[in-house]
Structure 1
């Protein structure tokens, strides 16, 4: 009797352990909300094949490209990794004025690779609405519509979404989050874009960077608020919500602005966010500790699936910036120091992205 009880207990413990292990494996392989930006403003990057292998060793399940490099798209074939490809700002006028240009672009950059390469979104332009180019701004929606029509013509319109990426400076005000509104002079343009997002089920994609918020307000309590560290929070008197991190506050500000225009059900996607791990001596904020705290805290927050206070219970799809440093980028040192991985494919700092680390 004693042996049987002991055996049963051991079996139960084995089952519990196996369940826990399978759960960890499942977590490591089901984080569809974690993506990464793969920029190429560099002359020293690892090969696309090596990068594809690296990505498969992590819990990153989506990659955003700023263009449509066929070598990278092909390297990611049959990996299951979702691929966001980009169309350049400079091509928007041609997309808008010539449906055949859009068709040729889709036939050249999408059709040869799909579905082996899991292209999920085409981003038309980057931060166009705050570019100051009124001609480009007015042509953005027609360009997106022509690309959507080109996808429809090859029966991919319901499989690949068409969107664009917006800067947080679209907001005229953002604090408290419940009061956030878009700049009045952009409302008409945004209305058309949001009608398109709503009709096609494509996301409203934004680039929130608590790092830049901290650069403008470098108090210690602001840093803790940005880095998911203990802090007293920031109270929104309208909703009675005490925000405990800048990421949630920024995303909810976008949600409030969308709600004010009648589009609260349009999905929000974070197309870029990150923190540099080094900078020049006169730069405030860049360090390995801060970058690890922000990116690691963000990943932990996303994995908790608590969502944001105004959008609870679901993690916002988030693309970390960036996969590698880009050595040809202009500007201060911090612009070239956002990479999560080194050129030898080792981690710049460990934030728990490795599948083997998670299972262990």
Structure 2
């Protein structure tokens, strides 16, 4: 799903900081990944988009549904791909193994030249649909194995607010049992947990307690977590480390973390400006190579998003997360290396 229905992260009241970071990837991640959404007018064709990724040295992409134009364009490109199963498919996948098997044949097996990395079973699923995530993941994993594609890992992309008590980071735990069961399944399969991490929404929701510098990787704030003795200088690391704490609490410290979305809007809302977006996103690119205080080392991370998408639903900020405009001109200066 091309980030349709993205829901802003609603964080608990933060006493000054929650910081996030990305865990080490199974493969060496040579550059940061970028999400490719298609909810915009006059976006370039997928074939040009793939060439554009390669011209920028971006070697990882996330798409939000089985976009056949993108899949054809990605064939032979060696760009590692995270592909979502749309939320609308979860019920069928959970209850009908044949539906998962057919989807694999049509959308994965049919594209042998695509470097599939992970399949995300749902994006930011909420409410009663969360009951379908794990059975859908199991049926999809079985379908991939039956098709000889067992090397493709199956996960789900969770909202950050699956974490309760995220401040201080060492206190983090999953606020619902279904996430603990998902983590336990991932521990058995070797797949990472995907989580969307947005310091922007934490800052815009509680700017009284969270400084802009702390939210955008700028110096000025230092916080020590009395629970683990670690020192935090940015909100992203604090948020990410609270996820690691939740994985530990669930008895699954071996599960890797992948930040499946992070970004900052350049217009449309409080704190959304070209300057802040440029500062945050460049800081993100430069920062994730080193990981977090709790988990040093490269953290696989996907920025949201490649293009501004003027047909996005929701708050006005949703239309302004792009690094580039539809004509491929930069929304602001950014370097990927």
User: Same fold judged by TM-score > 0.5?
Assistant: yes
Aligned residue among 107, 124, 133 for 1:140: 133
Counterparts of 2:140 and 2:209, CA distance in 1: 46
Aligned residue among 113, 117, 124 for 2:114: 117
Counterparts of 2:139 and 2:56, CA distance in 1: 36
Counterparts of 2:30 and 2:182, CA distance in 1: 25
Contact kept? 1:33, 1:316, Cα under 8 Å:
no
Counterparts of 1:155 and 1:32, CA distance in 2: 27
Q: Kindly name which structure, 1 or 2, has the bigger radius of gyration based on alpha carbons.
A: 1
Contact kept? 2:29, 2:300, Cα under 8 Å:
no
Deviation of 1:346 after TM superposition, in Å, equals 2.1
Q: Which runs of 5+ in 2 are unaligned?
A: 1-27
Aligned residue among 59, 82, 103 for 2:80: 82
Counterparts of 1:310 and 1:207, CA distance in 2: 18
Deviation of 1:220 after TM superposition, in Å, equals 8.8
Deviation of 1:328 after TM superposition, in Å, equals 1.0
Partner of 1:155: 148
- How many residues are matched? 310
TM-score (norm 2): 0.89
Corresponding position: 1:286 with 2:279: no
Partner of 2:218: 229
Matched residue of 2:47: which SS?
helix
Greater displacement, 144-153 / 330-339 = 330-339
Contact kept? 2:162, 2:179, Cα under 8 Å:
no
- Alignment deviations for residues 313-357 of structure 1 (CA, whole Å, 9 cap, x no partner): x1211000001111111233211001111112122112212xxxx
Corresponding position: 1:168 with 2:157: no
Equivalent residues in 2 for 1:310-349 (5 A)? Answer: 310-312=294-296, 314-349=297-332
Partner of 2:204: 215
Matched residue of 1:198: which SS?
helix
- Alignment deviations for residues 147-190 of structure 1 (CA, whole Å, 9 cap, x no partner): 11111111111x2111101111111210010111221xx12x22
Partner of 1:14: none
Aligned residue among 239, 249, 261 for 1:260: 249
Matched residue of 2:109: which SS?
coil
Equivalent residues in 2 for 1:57-76 (5 A)? Answer: 57-76=55-74
Partner of 1:98: 96
Deviation of 1:31 after TM superposition, in Å, equals 4.3
Counterparts of 1:196 and 1:202, CA distance in 2: 9
User: 1:166/1:221 Cα in 2 relative to 1: closer, same or farther (>3 Å)?
Assistant: closer
Q: Which runs of 5+ in 1 are unaligned?
A: 1-29
Counterparts of 1:53 and 1:221, CA distance in 2: 39
Q: Which has the higher helix share?
A: 1
Contact kept? 1:211, 1:275, Cα under 8 Å:
yes
Deviation of 1:232 after TM superposition, in Å, equals 2.4
Equivalent residues in 2 for 1:172-187 (5 A)? Answer: 172-183=164-175, 186-187=176-177
Contact kept? 2:183, 2:250, Cα under 8 Å:
no
Matched residue of 2:272: which SS?
coil
Matched residue of 1:142: which SS?
helix
Identify the structure with bigger relative contact order (alpha carbons < 8 Å, sequence gap 6+): 2
Counterparts of 2:30 and 2:146, CA distance in 1: 28
Counterparts of 1:264 and 1:220, CA distance in 2: 30
Counterparts of 2:256 and 2:199, CA distance in 1: 21
Counterparts of 1:235 and 1:33, CA distance in 2: 30
Counterparts of 2:252 and 2:258, CA distance in 1: 14
Matched residue of 1:165: which SS?
strand
- Alignment deviations for residues 50-101 of structure 1 (CA, whole Å, 9 cap, x no partner): 1011000113211000001111011011111011111111111111111111
Counterparts of 1:56 and 1:179, CA distance in 2: 40
Matched residue of 2:308: which SS?
coil
Corresponding position: 1:247 with 2:233: no
- C-alpha RMSD over aligned residues: 1.4
Matched residue of 1:59: which SS?
coil
Partner of 1:12: none
